[in-house]
Amino acid sequence: MPKIRIEPQGIDVEFDPDRPPLSGFGRPGSILDILLAHGVEIDHVCGGNCSCATCHVIVLDGMENLPEISEDEEDRLDTAQDLTETSRLACQTIPREDITIRIP
Ligand code: FES
C-alpha cells in the first residue's frame, strides 16, 4: 500500500487510495483525511474546506504523485506562512502513491 511519510518525525501512514478513510475533514482521501484518521494531528481550522491554509504541508518527495493544484487551492495557499514551491493544502490534495511531507 502507498504511504505518507512525515519528516523529520519519520512517521509512516499507509493508505488505500481506493478506500479513503473518511475522517469527516477535507476531501475524502486527502492528506488531511488520511492523517487525521490515523491519529496524526495537523491543524485544520476551517474543517478542511479550503478557506484557512492552516493545513499547509510541504512536499519533500513525490510531487509527481499528486494531482495538479486547483486555482482555489493555489489562491488559499498564497496566504500560508513559510510557503515553498512544493507547498500544498493537506485538505485539498489527494495522493495516489508514496509521498513524503513536512508539516511546517
Ligand atoms: S483545513 Fe483549512 S484550508 Fe485546509
Domain residue spans of the chain: 3-102
Has residue 21 got a pLDDT over 90?
Answer: no
15 φ/ψ angles, rounded to the nearest 5 degrees: -145, 155
Secondary structure (3-state) at 101: strand
The rounded Å distance from CA 8 to ligand 1 centre is 22
The rounded Å distance from CA 16 to ligand 1 centre is 22
**Distance, CA of 16 to chain centre:** 15
Q: What integer pLDDT is reported at residue 41 of this predicted model?
A: 94
Pocket, ligand 1, Cβ cutoff 6 A: 44-46, 48, 50-55, 76, 89, 91
Buried b vs exposed e over 28-56: b needs ≥16 C-beta within 10 Å?
ebbbbbbbbbeebebebebebebebbbbb
Q: What integer pLDDT is reported at residue 95 of this predicted model?
A: 96
Cell numbers at 41, concatenated: 494531528
Has residue 4 got a pLDDT over 90?
Answer: yes
Render pLDDT for 28-38 as a digit per residue (tens, 0 to 9). Answer: 999 999 999 99
Query: What is this structure's pTM?
Result: 0.96
Q: What integer pLDDT is reported at residue 44 of this predicted model?
A: 98
For the domain made up of 3-102, the CATH class stated in words is alpha beta
Q: Which ligand 1 atom sits nearest the alpha carbon of residue 50?
A: 3
The rounded Å distance from CA 2 to ligand 1 centre is 23
Computed on alpha carbons and rounded to an integer, the radius of gyration of the chain in Å comes to: 12
Render pLDDT for 41-94 as a digit per residue (tens, 0 to 9). Answer: 999 999 999 999 999 999 999 999 899 999 999 999 999 989 999 999 999 999
